[in-house]
Structure 1
Amino acid sequence: MTTPAPAVRPQSQSTVAVPTATPAPSGRLAVLSAAAMGALAIPLPILPDRIVTRLRGAVAHDTATRHGISLTTDARALLANVESEQNAGRAIARRAAEVIGFAILKRGLGPLSAITNVARALEVFAFGHLFDRYIMQVRRSGAVRIHAEEARKIRETIDRAFLHAFSPMLRPTPITLPDTVEDLRDEFTRWVDAAILTSASLPSYVERRLEAAFDEVVTHDG
């Protein structure tokens, strides 16, 4: 009597491996943002924009691929371009301001033009941070590609959130501090420590304002 061969169950054809997010290398986004600030210090009116566009493109690619998502060429261009399609007028105004800033720089008033450089670098940081937040918390599509239409929506949301982050009406979630132990420091040491720790907490404060602004924009649109 022969023993029948065990039945082989066919593998499900609908099983799809869901990619998991890979953590970003520590400090990469901060370094790229600093590189953007350095590029803007180059005294040429066109080259800095090209460098920042390349940096934004690299950030977009890195963020998407860490989540197992690809960007089409058009989508990357929309996300990477220094100016969005909706802000063509602002691009002209900014270019004029940068030309004036270069003139000021030549006259020895460099600290004033540095404000523009910091703002542009902050835009790069905000873009990378909020693009990651969009994929993690907002994106509902299971598509493994981001096309131009979705990229346009992402860009508009991030740009609006960046501007909203400067609103005095914005109230980010405060950090809950643990109960303090007995403070044995003298008055001068307390002031010095407060200044040092406040400076060190600035990146976290910026992140919380960006996230709060982004969440409010998404909620309003939803």
Structure 2
Amino acid sequence: MTHSLPFLLAVPVLLAAGLRPETAQAQCSRSARSHCGRPAQAESAAALVSAAFRSVLVGAGTGLSMSGSGDYLISKTHLEYAPQLGRHWRLASRLAYIGGSQPRKLGDQIVIPQSYRAVNLEQEIHWLPFGGGRLVEFGVGGGVFAGYGREMSIPQSGYGRDASGNRRYFYTSKREQGLHVGYIASLYADVALDPRADWRLGGRLALQNDTRANILPGGQLQLSRAL
């Protein structure tokens, strides 16, 4: 009995040392909803948000488009905010200015002004078939726009002969301005300029049409920065 006393006294110490981690783990498991799981839940929520908004591109673009009548080239510049949604979708919100003019000559002396100017808010969504944030990112999609525009155009022009046989020119002009809405169809591709893909350079082709039947195909070169 005397020899077994030290062993009996050591048993509680050994049990305490051996069971303490498992006991603490069991207690943490029982209280995971209230305390122990909070850091994991916070990390999980942050991961979900990060996965939903994988990258945001802020860019500026400039290029050329055809006028509404298709007679001459006009410039288009825009600022873009484009967050990525999941792996295969990217929104593109833009503030765009389209403007240009080119006088039209009839004969040697008649010069008729024509111009097109508009400020638009554009909203598109693009499908990224190969995913976003790659070395080369490709997207195709479309959307809508609304803005204010002003146009001076010449729907008809020509010439005829008077009684003396002299050439006489004629034309009809059209002036429109006001609010307009329309749709856009576009595709783009850009390439990363650095290993981390913080800077991207690409091109965009688009076709847009508004309520005045002004169809403006064109393309822009765009430089983007990932946030």
Q: Which is higher, the Rg of structure 1 or of structure 2?
A: 2
User: Is TM more than 0.5 here?
Assistant: no
| TM-score, structure 2 as length reference | 0.22
| TM-score, structure 1 as length reference | 0.22
Greater helix fraction, Structure 1 or Structure 2:
1
Q: Which has the higher contact order (CA 8 A, sep 6+)?
A: 1
